[in-house]
């Protein structure tokens, strides 16, 4: 077996529109379950304050991202917002599996669908649903990470993304956070057994 292609492990996917709470839930699970390893995506968007290259994302120039697409380095990639690319690297998935870990994803709905299609048996795809659209938008605004333009495109895209909710294995409603975190722990626990 070549080092580039270790045997398949498991994949735990969290997907949702921006602001629904994926990152909050995924970080909580990474703290609780040492068997999980985060798939660090590549992106062409600039880092936010506090984000670290190689930990939160691999921050790439558009040219470097395009070079890696041409080299076949991505499991999937999407132009999530105009001019902003995000993608999952094969190397991230293989690194986790080689370490005997289950790889966990924080990813938008189209990429999640692609990964689920590639690994239908070994993956669990969880859609994180906000209680309602207005709460989602309010959380995005309160997070204060986006400028006005970025906020607008995220809100514009959210309706389309919410329509994907029935396509995944589970829907996790993120209303009361402690309750949602407990439910996420339960899902992870049974999937990892
Ligand atoms: P995503 O990764 O899906 O974009 P985040 O995890 O960044 O979403 O959450 C968006 C914002 O909403 C963050 O500021 C986060 O602290 C907050 N948040 C997440 N879950 C809840 C919740 N259940 N109730 C209130 N605020 C929440
Ligand atoms: P953000 O800019 O808020 O970090 O991410 C924007 C959106 O891109 C989020 O919905 C996030 O989950 C998604 N995303 C992050 N990484 C990837 C990836 O590797 N592939 C895809 N398709 N989407 C991603």
Distances (CA, A) of 108 to 10, 14, 85, 147: 19, 8, 12, 20
Reduce the DSSP state of residue 78 to 3 states and report it: strand
Q: What is the pLDDT of residues 81-90, one digit of tens each?
A: 999 999 999 9
- Cβ 24 under 6 angstroms from ligand 1: yes
Q: Which atom of ligand 2 is nearest to the CA of 109?
A: 22
Among the listed residues 48, 50, 14, 17, the one whose alpha carbon sits nearest the alpha carbon of residue 153: 17
Q: Where are the alpha helices (DSSP H) in the chain?
A: 22-32, 62-70, 90-98, 109-118, 133-143, 148-162, 177-192
pLDDT, position 2: 40
pLDDT, position 3: 45
Tell me what the pLDDT averaged over the chain comes to: 95
- Cβ 21 under 6 angstroms from ligand 1: yes
Q: What is the 3-state secondary structure (H, E, C) of 8-47?
A: CCCEEEEECCCCCCHHHHHHHHHHHCCCEEECCCEECCCC
Residues in the chain where the model's pLDDT stays below 70: 1-6
The whole-model pTM stands at 0.96
- Residue bearing the CA closest to ligand 1, atom 25: 177
Q: Which atom of ligand 1 is nearest to the CA of 174?
A: 23
| Residue 24: both structure tokens together | 């909050």
Q: Among all ligands shown, which has an atom nearest to the Cα of 59?
A: 2
Q: Quickly count: other Cβ atoms within 10 Å of residue 137's Cβ.
A: 17
Q: Among all ligands shown, which has an atom nearest to the Cα of 158?
A: 2
Domains identified in the chain and CATH numbers? 11-188 (3.40.50.300)
Q: What is the pLDDT of residues 24-41, one digit of tens each?
A: 999 999 999 999 999 999
| Residue 41: both structure tokens together | 């995506």
């Amino acid at each position: 077996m070549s080092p580039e292609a270790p045997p398949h492990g498991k994949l735990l996917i969290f997907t949702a529109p921006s602001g629904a709470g994926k990152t909050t839930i995924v970080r909580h699970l990474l703290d609780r379950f040492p068997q999980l390893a985060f798939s660090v995506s590549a992106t062409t968007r600039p880092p936010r304050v506090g984000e670290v290259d190689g930990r939160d994302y691999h921050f790439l120039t558009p040219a470097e991202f395009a070079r890696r697409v041409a080299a076949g380095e991505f499991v999937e990639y999407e132009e999530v917002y105009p001019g902003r690319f995000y993608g999952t690297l094969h190397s991230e998935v293989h690194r986790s599996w080689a370490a005997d870990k289950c790889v966990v994803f924080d990813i938008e709905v189209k990429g999640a669908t692609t990964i689920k299609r590639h690994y239908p048996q070994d993956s669990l795809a969880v859609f994180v649903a906000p209680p309602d659209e207005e709460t989602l938008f309010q959380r995005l605004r309160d997070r204060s990470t986006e400028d006005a333009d970025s906020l607008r495109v995220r809100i514009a895209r959210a309706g389309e993304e919410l329509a994907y909710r029935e396509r995944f294995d589970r829907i996790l409603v993120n209303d009361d956070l402690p309750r949602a975190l407990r439910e996420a722990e339960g899902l992870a626990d049974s999937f990892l057994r």
